[in-house]
């Protein structure tokens, strides 16, 4: 099959035979006022699993967008060499015809369409000018078997979990006859089982000769699966490490990513003065009238002043539903039970009531629910507490600027100015803005739902440091997290949830991953 389109200019590079399927040489990409990539060199051997790591904003995704044609030839300098030939892509269609497929963290599937319709969307199988649906279903079954996904191809995408949707994306990629598969944070939203399944699939594809490039912040996964790891920092290539030579270690990755050693990713608190109960939940039940499910069943939980309470569990255990139910019930569940703030029975009819009582919630989905990406840092920080800045309904812009600068400095938000559009910031800095937005409401209890999802190890350390400072100031924090090392490393106590119930409680000092997983699978 000819993988070069007529729109793709290629020039044969006369070099000695090489094992590299891909070479990106001296790639430089600039945006107004920012050099995102600065003479980056990146080489990938044929048939290997090559991981690309770096802090948020380091340039990883930009480099892959250059490779895939999102940023077309002429918008950057340097050469892309694929299979010994210089490439000049004008769009994603060109890179796909050359045998490259990229799967982003936000999956590009249409929920209302079936699996087979999504797999062949845009390159439908046709016969006599009409779509051959029977052949489409047959071919889809073959592709699903290849990615080890046992589902009916006629199933609507919206009925599948995130892990299965990820596999549908890979099946879709293989429907286009690819040689090079790029995955951008593929396990960010997956549970441990789905992540393990994806890692095993990549290893299996490797035996079939498929080359994979994986961007990931999960260093343990990188260490487990990578043949080679390339580190990018501040738009420049720092190093490439060979796993076969024992070069790929957690400390080596961290040091090269952030430019310094972080000996303990979970910083210790200087003091632990745990006080009275700040928030208590008694016999909380919740029914989702949309799905018809009982999503919370007789929940009893409390958090004290100056304490971090971790909430662990698998995806679907009800952890986020618990946060919504406490925080004014924005999803309109049918709820029964009691909530107490500092010993006083409260009844939050809406989220505004919870905020007034001193409760704040940093959502797990900062891009859709936590922030307004087209507005600036200043507007996002002030959003949850505009009344504090208003007089007769008019916002005092000078006060708003003062508040924004305060939280920018206090949370070390890296931004050219408080008027920078939030969508232009890295994930870690977006998360800090989301935290700052709720700190401005001066909460007594802060719920953090997946506080470090999709951010790099350096930004994680900074978020953990912020958590410790808040705790030392007497705040109470409920931290929901899918990362067990994070739950164990940051919590004083841990609750474990499974199928809408609390199945265990323990002091963090007594917790092990095995104990937590045993309770999470009850």
The domain segmentation of the chain, as residue ranges, is 1-99+178-262, 108-176, 264-358+443-522, 371-442
Pairing of strands 277-288, 236-242: unpaired
Domains 1-99+178-262 and 264-358+443-522 share a fold: yes
Which residues on adjacent β-strands are paired with residue 296?
286
> CA-based angle 81:85:87, to the nearest 5?
60
Q: Which pLDDT value is given to residue 18?
A: 59
- Predicted pLDDT at 170: 87
Question: In the block, which residue shows the tokens 């004008």?
Answer: 90
- Would you state the pLDDT for residue 7? 40
Burial 77-101 (b: 16+ CB within 10 A, else e): ebebbbbebbbbbebbbbbbbbbbb
Angle between helices 133-146 and 162-174 (to 10 degrees): 110
Phi-psi region at 7: left, alpha or beta (left = phi > 0; alpha = psi -120 to 50)? alpha
Q: Which residues on neighbouring strands pair with residue 279, listed in sequence order?
A: 303, 341
Does residue 95 contact residue 67 with C-beta atoms inside 8 Å?
A: yes
Q: What is the pTM of this model?
A: 0.69
State the DSSP code for 481: -
Q: How far is CA 148 from the centre of its chain?
A: 24
pLDDT of amino acid 1: 41
Q: Could you state, in chain order, the average pLDDT of each consecutive group of 10 residues for the chain (522 residues)?
A: 40 52 95 84 95 85 91 94 93 91 82 93 88 92 88 91 84 87 82 81 89 90 94 92 94 85 79 90 94 92 97 88 94 95 95 95 87 94 92 90 93 90 86 93 95 81 91 95 90 95 95 90 80
Look up the CATH architecture of domain 264-358+443-522: 3-Layer(aba) Sandwich (3.40)
Q: What is the pLDDT of residue 345?
A: 97
Per-residue pLDDT of 294-331, as tens digits, reads: 999 999 999 999 999 999 997 778 999 999 999 999 98
CA distance 493 to 504: 11
Beta strands in 156-204 (DSSP E): 180-184
Q: CA neighbours within 13 Å on the CB side: how many for 78?
A: 22
Handedness of CA 433, 436, 440, 445 (dihedral sign): positive
Where helices occur in 100-191 by DSSP H, the ranges are: 115-119, 133-146, 162-174
**Residue 148 backbone class (left: φ over 0; alpha: ψ -120 to 50; beta: rest):** left
Instruction: Please say whether the structural domain 1-99+178-262 has been given the CATH code 3.40.50.300.
Output: yes
Q: Alpha helix locations (H) across 215-303? A: 219-225, 250-258
**Contact 341/360 with Cβ under 8 angstroms?**
no
Say what the pLDDT of residue 4 is. 39
């Amino acid at each position: 099959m000819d993988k070069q389109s007529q729109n793709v200019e290629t020039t044969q590079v006369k070099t000695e035979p090489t094992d590299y399927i891909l070479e990106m040489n001296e790639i430089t990409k600039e945006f107004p006022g920012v050099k995102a990539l600065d003479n980056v060199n990146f080489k990938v051997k044929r048939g290997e699993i090559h991981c690309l790591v770096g802090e948020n904003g380091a340039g990883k995704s930009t480099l892959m967008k250059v490779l895939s044609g999102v940023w077309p030839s002429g918008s950057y300098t340097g050469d892309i060499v694929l299979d010994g030939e210089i490439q000049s892509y004008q769009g994603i269609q060109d890179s796909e015809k050359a045998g490259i497929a990229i799967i982003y963290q936000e999956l590009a599937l249409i929920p209302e369409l079936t699996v087979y319709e999504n797999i062949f969307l845009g390159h439908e199988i046709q016969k006599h000018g009409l779509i051959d649906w029977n052949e489409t279903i047959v071919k889809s079954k073959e592709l699903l078997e290849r990615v080890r996904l046992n589902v009916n191809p006629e199933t609507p995408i919206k009925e599948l979990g995130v892990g299965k949707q990820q596999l549908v994306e890979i099946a879709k990629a293989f429907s286009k006859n690819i040689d090079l598969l790029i995955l951008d944070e593929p396990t960010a939203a997956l549970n441990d089982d789905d992540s393990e399944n994806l890692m095993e699939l990549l290893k299996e594809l490797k035996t079939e000769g498929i080359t994979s490039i994986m961007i990931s912040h999960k260093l343990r996964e990188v260490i487990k699966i990578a043949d080679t790891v390339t580190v990018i920092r501040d738009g420049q290539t720092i190093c490439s490490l060979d796993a076969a030579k024992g070069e790929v270690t957690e400390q080596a990755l961290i040091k090269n990513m952030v430019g310094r050693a972080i000996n303990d990713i979970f910083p210790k608190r200087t003091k632990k003065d745990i006080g009275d109960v700040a928030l208590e939940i008694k016999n909380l039940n919740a029914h989702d009238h949309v799905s018809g499910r009982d999503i919370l069943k007789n929940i009893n939980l409390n958090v004290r002043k100056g304490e971090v309470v971790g909430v662990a569990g698998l995806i679907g255990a009800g952890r986020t539903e618990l946060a919504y139910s406490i925080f004014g019930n924005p999803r309109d569940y049918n709820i029964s039970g009691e909530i107490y703030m500092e010993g006083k029975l409260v009844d939050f009819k809406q989220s505004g009531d919870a905020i007034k009582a001193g409760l704040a919630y940093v959502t797990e989905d900062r891009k859709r629910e936590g922030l307004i990406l087209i507005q600036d840092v200043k507007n996002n920080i002030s959003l949850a507490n505009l009344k504090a800045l208003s007089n007769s309904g008019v916002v005092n812009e000078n006060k708003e600027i003062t508040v924004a600068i305060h939280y920018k400095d206090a949370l070390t938000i890296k931004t050219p100015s408080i008027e920078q559009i939030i969508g232009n910031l890295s994930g870690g800095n977006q998360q800090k803005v989301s935290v700052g937005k709720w700190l401005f409401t001066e909460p007594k209890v802060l719920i953090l739902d997946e506080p470090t999802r999709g951010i790099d190890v350096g930004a994680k350390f900074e978020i953990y440091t912020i958590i410790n400072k808040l705790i030392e100031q007497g705040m109470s924090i409920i931290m929901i997290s899918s990362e067990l090392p994070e739950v164990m490393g940051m919590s004083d106590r841990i609750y474990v949830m499974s199928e809408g119930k609390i199945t265990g409680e323990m002091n963090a000092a007594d917790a092990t991953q095995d104990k937590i997983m045993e309770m999470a699978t009850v």
